[in-house]
Amino acid sequence: MTKRTVELELATPGVDAQGRAARMPLKARAAEETAEPDLGAEHLLVNLGPQHPATHGVLRLVVELDGETVVRCIPHVGYLHSGFEKLGEYRHYNQIIPLTDRTDYLSPMSNNVGLALAAEKLMGIAITPRCTVLRVIACEMSRIISHMVWLGTTSIDLGAFTPFLWAFQQRERIYDLQEMWTGARLTTSLTRVGGLMADIPDRFVDKLREFTGDFPKTLDEIDRVLTRNAVWAGRTQGVGTLSAAEAITHSLSGPMLRASGVPYDVRKDKPYLGYETYDFDVVVGEHGDVYDRYLVRLEECYQSNRILQQALDRLPDGPINVDDPRVILPSKTRAMSDMEAMIFHFKQVMEGVKAPVGEAYVGIENPKGELGNYLVSDGTAKPVRWRIRPPSFINLSALPRMAEGHLLSDLIAINASVDIVMGEVDR
Amino acid sequence: MIPGALRETVARDGERIVYVARDRLLAAMHWLKETPGQEFNYLVDVTAVEFRDRERPIEVVYFLRSLERRADIRIKVELPSTDELVVDSVWSLWHGADWLEREVYDMFGITFRGHPDLRRILMWETYAEGYPLRKSFPLRGRFSRAEQVRQALNANPEAHYSLEELSIAEAGGDLPEDMRDRLRRGERGVIPEPPPS
Amino acid sequence: MKHVGEVKSSNYLLTKFQELVDWAVNSSRANSLWPMPFGTACCAIEFMATAASRFDFARFGMERQAFSPRQADVLICAGRLPFKLAPVIRRIYDQMPQPKWVISMGACASTGGIFDNYAMVQGIDTIVPVDVYVPGCPPRPEGLLYGILLLHKKIKGESLFDAVRRREEQPLDDKGLRLPPETIDEISEPFGNSVHQFRSS
Ligand code: SF4
């Protein structure tokens, strides 16, 4: 468990009389605000979105303002409701995987993994060691690109443009790797029930090693530009605070929960894919404000990089798919030359893989929080119910609580700190 | 023993599932949250399941977790589809249930008694076709595409954009006491005490 | 420029006045389009990639992104469009000043894509007129750039003096629809594999 607290070193408004670094004097600033003359109780209603560059997608916020202070903020979601869960009831388990790409489209690979794990739990399939490690690599790559988008867009929202370009440069490198592996930049559809759609190509390991070698340098640069930056600190510290108890009662998860000081990480506490065997730290914040969420996400990128390096070191040889012709498609050559393989191929494509009666829930630690896939089967090849536990939907539901009493401009920072992706909020 | 527990099974992922009588739900949840040794203080998810077999009751599923004990449990309430689809809201125990219950209401038409603001959340409020995740709801909706487009285009993109139209507690007098206090002091936010580690 | 006759001396260039005007107006329009990104879903991420350093559509005169419809020339609908968002895109389109163009980026915006269900508009052309459809799920940034170049081509073929080729405002009819209901039903019909989707097991 790492606790990461950063003291401000530069001359900021947060330096106290003795010149010691301190956090922003929140109370003092608050006092100034109340000293302003009361201009009557007329409240103003402002509509942000659904088409607004700072709402990170088609989120609509109706904000009631007293002067510039948010009295209440009412999010309206559903502008991107695409009926994923209904569609899933009409699809085979393997056909759901392309749908998962499109829910949280900032981390498609780890969504694929989440669904495959749930379907495998449901069917009682144990995946191969090589597949396990490759899936860990996929999850951590996703975490990095998702946090990079978050860093980039949030820094734009708060007025820093450079980190955006740096972050997107690193993203493009991971995109290249994804494209090498799956053939698609964004909609990867990487996993299959019982394995993966493809093994990694030849030069993949070298390229990924190269990436993990220089990626921390970019992080260090971003760290240097933002962490001790007076503007950044001033706009994020003490903004949108949530105590641990509040974070728990609002069911927050992921970096939002950990920034409030609750050390819960699914990878450590309910391990899947053998995460318990990797050496990494769960990053926990102290204050639960926007600044701490930033620190947590930044540090998580370093940790993901560590996991990637360990995974590359231990990557075993062997098959990527389980040896079971009922769940894994036979190779094309065998399907064309061998009668039995052809029958299995035909049955799988036409009828799908049947799951036994029952239900399974698997939660994985997605970049946004705990992504749960809950599958209920009645014995057919299509689930009766496919439920996604959407981390950013649930994290967003705490926004009204976080925003009240802040300035309108802080609302943008708070909203950005939730790290929402509307495809997942609305599904 | 969980109050109101009817029967127990185990899911295929090894988790405990406890079926609870509908009228004892709140008592059971309260017990699970507060009893030492249980301490299920975290609500992971709320959802509902309707089976293809229409005879089977609709299930409302609650996923609970104890963050300290690192333990999970799944609570289910069965609602016979012939009956009224009503169940008590657990919002008073976990505020995270707010949007989750609204979503279940929106998608299945299950009413949560005691929910502070039960409105549709994903579909717009005048959505007339029904509850999309019910099995009786066709995949493409009930109306023709032209009618769906017509209704959508005639919807008001500025709904809920006036103080009168907001259907949650009106500002001013109806705000919770502590929030009014905070607003009066003009506080920008408090830094909470770090949790005991 | 078409039909430009040339006489013996190269000091003369003859053309119709109308074409000269069209040429001047259209090339300046085409080469400095201000896009209004209406990014909703996954395609918006590829749109961002197109705008960012590696692909950089500023090279094609799209340096300035207009986040306000009132200063935009081309609406790029990147991503899926659920019915709940339909009045919003129509309002944005109506707020844009003429001349205006629309690029529909991605399978979802063009046809509904893999989402043939209760929530999704089956192609934004049932709501706003579309000039260029960019296929793909999502289209690669190169694909979007190609679509933008096609739009340039289209703009260069327009004329201020020809009522057919001049673009006019297309308001909604009295029912509030852009197309007749039968047309909407026809173009929203399921096709290919998705006709078999009625059975749920
Ligand atoms: S076309 Fe594909 S990538 Fe684009 S919005 Fe639709 S699902 Fe997403």
CA-based nearest residue to A172, from C29, C52, B11, B36: C52
Residue C41: CB within 6 Å of ligand 1?
Answer: yes
Confidence label for A325 from pLDDT (cuts 50, 70 and 90): confident
Q: For position C199, what pLDDT does the model report?
A: 47
Can you identify the CATH homologous superfamily of domain B5-122? NADH:ubiquinone oxidoreductase Nqo5 subunit (3.30.460.80)
Query: For strand B111-113 and strand B86-88, is the pairing parallel, antiparallel, or unpaired?
Result: parallel
Q: For position A241, what pLDDT does the model report?
A: 86
The packing angle between helices C141-156 and C17-31, to 10°, is 160
Q: Is the pLDDT of residue B192 over 60?
A: no
Enclosing domain of residue C118: 35-161
How far apart (Å, rounded) are the C-alpha atoms in residues A139 and A133?
10
**Cβ-count burial of C16 within 10 angstroms (0-12 exposed, 13-18 middle, 19+ buried)?**
middle
Query: Residue C118 in contact with residue B140, Cβ under 8 Å?
Result: yes
Q: For A389, phi and psi rounded to 5 degrees?
A: -85, 105
Residue C184 lies in a domain: no
* Eight-state DSSP code of residue B103: H
The average pLDDT across A37-52 equals: 71
| Residues in chain B, overall count | 197
**Cβ-count burial of A39 within 10 angstroms (0-12 exposed, 13-18 middle, 19+ buried)?**
exposed
Average pLDDT of chain A? 84
Span from the CA of C79 to the centroid of ligand 1 (angstroms): 5
Q: Which two tokens stand for residue A78?
A: 């559903």
Where in chain A are the domains?
89-425
Residues in contact with A86: Cβ distance below 8 Å, sequence separation at least 6, in sequence order:
B132, B133, B137, B139, C117, C118
Cβ distance of A83 and C49 shorter than 8 Å:
no
Per-residue pLDDT of chain C (201 residues; tens, 9 = 90+): 455 555 566 677 778 888 888 888 888 888 888 888 888 888 888 888 888 778 888 888 887 888 888 888 899 998 888 988 888 888 888 888 878 889 999 888 888 888 888 888 888 888 888 889 998 888 988 899 999 999 988 888 887 777 665 566 777 777 778 888 888 888 887 766 555 554 444
Give me Rg for the CA atoms of chain C: 19
Residues in contact with C35: Cβ distance below 8 Å, sequence separation at least 6, in sequence order:
C57, C62, C65, C66, C72, C73, C74, C75, C76
Q: For position B188, what pLDDT does the model report?
A: 39
Q: Which of C90, C118, C122 lies nearest to residue B153, judging by beta carbons?
A: C90
Residue C42: CB within 6 Å of ligand 1?
Answer: yes
Q: For position B178, what pLDDT does the model report?
A: 62
The average pLDDT across A50-68 equals: 79
pLDDT digit string, tens, across residues A397-410: 888 888 888 888 88
Q: For position A115, what pLDDT does the model report?
A: 92
CA-based nearest residue to A175, from B119, B140, C55, C14: C55
Q: Which residues in chain A touch residue B197, judged by CB atoms under 8 angstroms apart?
A: 263
Q: Which residues in chain C touch residue B157, judged by CB atoms under 8 angstroms apart?
A: 87-88, 91
Q: For A46, phi and psi rounded to 5 degrees?
A: -125, 135
Q: Which of A90, A106, A422 lies nearest to residue C200, judging by beta carbons?
A: A90
Quick one: which H or E segment has residue A84? helix A84-88
Residue C43: CB within 6 Å of ligand 1?
Answer: yes
Give me Rg for the CA atoms of chain B: 20
Q: For position C193, what pLDDT does the model report?
A: 57
Distances (CA, A) of C87 to A79, A422, B151: 11, 18, 10
Which residue, by CA, sits nearest to atom 5 of ligand 1? C79
Residues in contact with A119: Cβ distance below 8 Å, sequence separation at least 6, in sequence order:
A93, A96, A193, A355, A360, A375
Quick one: which H or E segment has residue B34? helix B25-34
C-side interface with A, Cβ within 8 Å? 38-42, 44-46, 48-49, 52-54, 67, 79-80, 82, 84-85, 88, 92, 114-115, 117-120, 137-138, 140, 197, 199-201
Q: Which of C39, C42, C88 lies nearest to residue A102, judging by beta carbons?
A: C42
Q: Which atom of ligand 1 is the closest one to the Cα of C79?
A: 5
Q: Which two tokens stand for residue A320?
A: 């990527």
Cβ distance of B129 and C84 shorter than 8 Å:
no
How far apart (Å, rounded) are the C-alpha atoms in residues A427 and A425?
6
Query: Residue A186 in contact with residue C45, Cβ under 8 Å?
Result: yes
Q: For position A13, what pLDDT does the model report?
A: 46
Query: For strand B5-10 and strand A283-284, is the pairing parallel, antiparallel, or unpaired?
Result: unpaired
The average pLDDT across A339-345 equals: 87
Span from the CA of A102 to the centroid of ligand 1 (angstroms): 7
| Portion 151-180 of A in contact with B at CB < 8 A | none
| Residues in chain A, overall count | 427
DSSP-assigned states of every residue in chain C: --S-B--SSTT--B--HHHHHHHHHHHHHHHT--EEEEE-SHHHHHHHHHHSTTT-GGGGT--S--SSGGG-SEEEEES--BGGGHHHHHHHHHHSPSS-EEEEESHHHHH-TT--STTB-S-GGGTS--SEEE-SSSPPHHHHHHHHHHHHHHHHT--SS-TTTS-------TTS-SS-HHHHHHHTS--GGGGGTT---
Q: For position A376, what pLDDT does the model report?
A: 92
Q: Which residues in chain A touch residue C84, judged by CB atoms under 8 angstroms apart?
A: 78-79, 81
Q: In what order do the strands lie in the sheet with A385-389?
A: A358-366, A369-377, A385-389
Span from the CA of A377 to the centroid of ligand 1 (angstroms): 28
Query: Residue A384 in contact with residue A357, Cβ under 8 Å?
Result: no
Q: Which atom of ligand 1 is the closest one to the Cα of C43?
A: 4
Cβ distance of C127 and B147 shorter than 8 Å:
no
pLDDT digit string, tens, across residues B106-138: 888 888 888 887 878 888 877 878 888 888 888
Q: Which residues in chain A touch residue B19, judged by CB atoms under 8 angstroms apart?
A: none
Cβ distance of B70 and A270 shorter than 8 Å:
yes
| Portion 327-386 of A in contact with C at CB < 8 A | 378, 380-382
How far apart (Å, rounded) are the C-alpha atoms in residues A329 and A346?
9
Residues in contact with B100: Cβ distance below 8 Å, sequence separation at least 6, in sequence order:
A251, A394, A397, B43, B45, B46, B47
Torsion sign, CA atoms C81, C84, C89, C94? positive
Confidence label for B61 from pLDDT (cuts 50, 70 and 90): very high
pLDDT digit string, tens, across residues B65-98: 888 888 889 999 988 878 888 888 888 888 888 8
Cβ distance of A99 and C39 shorter than 8 Å:
no
Query: Residue A103 in contact with residue A388, Cβ under 8 Å?
Result: yes
What's C6-32 look like in SS3? CCCCCCCCECCHHHHHHHHHHHHHHHC
The answer to whether A78 faces chain C, any CB pair under 8 Å, is yes
How far apart (Å, rounded) are the C-alpha atoms in residues A191 and A250?
32
Q: Is the pLDDT of residue B190 over 70?
A: no
Q: Which two tokens stand for residue B128?
A: 């007339």
Distances (CA, A) of B72 to A266, B17, B27, C39, C176: 12, 10, 18, 38, 51
* In the block, residue with structure tokens 């007025």: A159
Cβ distance of C198 and B154 shorter than 8 Å:
no
Q: Which residues in chain C touch residue B161, judged by CB atoms under 8 angstroms apart?
A: none
Residue C62 lies in a domain: yes
Q: Which residues in chain B touch residue A45, judged by CB atoms under 8 angstroms apart?
A: 161-163
The average pLDDT across A35-64 equals: 73
Q: For position A140, what pLDDT does the model report?
A: 92
Where in chain B are the domains?
5-122
The answer to whether C170 faces chain B, any CB pair under 8 Å, is no
How far apart (Å, rounded) are the C-alpha atoms in residues A164 and A154?
8
Q: For position B193, what pLDDT does the model report?
A: 46
CA-based nearest residue to A366, from A96, A145, A200: A145
Cβ distance of C114 and A53 shorter than 8 Å:
no
Residue C6 lies in a domain: no
The subunits that touch chain A, with at least 3 C-beta pairs less than 8 Å apart, are B, C
Distances (CA, A) of A203 to A15, A136, A206, A210: 50, 18, 5, 11
Core vs surface per residue B147-158: b (16+ CB within 10 A) or e: bbbbbbbebebe
State the pTM of this model: 0.84
CA-based nearest residue to B39, from B13, B74, B65: B65
Cβ distance of A404 and B183 shorter than 8 Å:
yes
Out of A127-131, A141-145, B92-96, B188-192, pick the least confident.
B188-192
Q: Which residue of C has its CA nearest to A107?
A: C42
Interface test with chain A among B19, B100, B119, B122, by most A beta carbons within 10 Å: B122
How far apart (Å, rounded) are the C-alpha atoms in residues A77 and C26?
40
Residues in contact with A425: Cβ distance below 8 Å, sequence separation at least 6, in sequence order:
A57, A59, A77, A80, A390, A392, A393, A396
Respond yes or no on whether the N-terminal peptide bond of residue B3 is cis (omega within 30° of 0).
no
pLDDT digit string, tens, across residues A265-296: 888 888 888 888 988 888 888 888 888 899 89
- Show the DSSP H helices in A124-187 as ranges: 129-157, 162-182
CA-based nearest residue to A120, from A348, A381, A351, A327: A327
Q: Which residues in chain A touch residue B173, judged by CB atoms under 8 angstroms apart?
A: none
Give the CATH number of the domain where residue C63 resides.
Answer: 3.40.50.12280
Quick one: which H or E segment has residue B72? strand B71-79
The average pLDDT across A91-112 equals: 89
DSSP-assigned states of every residue in A17-75: TTS------HHHHHHHHHHSPP--S--EEEEE-SS-GGGSSS-EEEEEEETTEEEEEEE
Q: Which residues in chain A touch residue C79, judged by CB atoms under 8 angstroms apart?
A: 80
CATH number attached to the domain at A89-425: 1.10.645.10
Span from the CA of C138 to the centroid of ligand 1 (angstroms): 5
Cβ distance of C114 and A99 shorter than 8 Å:
yes
CA-based nearest residue to A245, from B173, C176, C17, B195: B195
Q: For position A24, what pLDDT does the model report?
A: 45
B-side interface with C, Cβ within 8 Å? 52, 123-124, 129, 132, 135, 137-141, 144-157
Q: Which two tokens stand for residue A59?
A: 């989120």
A173 to chain B, minimum CA–CA distance in Å?
Answer: 35
Interface test with chain B among C38, C80, C81, C83, by most B beta carbons within 10 Å: C83
Which residue, by CA, sits nearest to atom 6 of ligand 1? C108
SS3 content of chain A, % helix, strand, coil (to 5): 50, 10, 40
Residue C137: CB within 6 Å of ligand 1?
Answer: yes
Amino acid at A160: A
How far apart (Å, rounded) are the C-alpha atoms in residues B15 and A375?
13
Span from the CA of A398 to the centroid of ligand 1 (angstroms): 28
Q: For position A38, what pLDDT does the model report?
A: 54
Higher per-residue pLDDT: A134 or A228:
A134
Question: ipTM score of the complex?
Answer: 0.83
Residue pairs between chains A and C whose CB atoms are closer than 8 Å: 97
Query: Residue C71 in contact with residue C34, Cβ under 8 Å?
Result: yes
Residue C83 lies in a domain: yes
* Eight-state DSSP code of residue A363: E
Amino acid at B184: R
Q: Is the pLDDT of residue A364 over 50?
A: yes
Q: Is the pLDDT of residue A232 over 50?
A: yes
Distances (CA, A) of A14 to A31, A239, B41, B187: 16, 14, 36, 17
The average pLDDT across B7-32 equals: 86
Q: Which residues in chain B touch residue C184, judged by CB atoms under 8 angstroms apart?
A: 145-146, 149
Number of domains present in the structure of chain C: 1
